[in-house]
């Protein structure tokens, strides 16, 4: 089993060209999967890839 790469909400926001609050809202709305570590969310590369595939047009 390989260790996934984790991204902060700030890094995800930068990659998707979104506001950090938007990314956190998507996580709270269960549109984007994330892992909560302490008080912070982390998004794995697999979760990010799945999100992009789910919302692809």
Q: Is the pLDDT of residue 19 over 90?
A: yes
pLDDT band at 1 (very low <50, low <70, confident <90, very high): confident
Gap between the Cα atoms of 57 and 42, Å rounded: 25
Task: Give the model's pLDDT for residue 51.
Answer: 96
* pLDDT tens readout for residues 26-57: 999 999 999 999 999 999 999 999 999 999 98
Task: Give the model's pLDDT for residue 2.
Answer: 84
DSSP state of 31: S
Instruction: Tell me the mean pLDDT in the region 7-30.
Output: 98
Q: Give me the long-range contacts of 35-40 (CB less than 8 A, separation at least 24).
A: 35/6, 40/8, 40/9
**16: Cβ–Cβ under 8 A, 6 or more apart, which residues?**
23
pTM: 0.89
Q: Please give the domain boundaries of the chain with CATH numbers for all domains.
A: 6-54 (1.10.10)
């Amino acid at each position: 089993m390989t260790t996934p790469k984790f991204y902060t909400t700030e890094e995800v926001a930068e990659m998707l060209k979104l506001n950090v609050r938007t990314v956190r809202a998507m996580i709270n709305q269960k549109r984007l999967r994330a892992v909560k570590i302490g008080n912070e969310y982390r998004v794995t590369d697999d979760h990010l890839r799945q999100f992009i595939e789910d919302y692809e047009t």
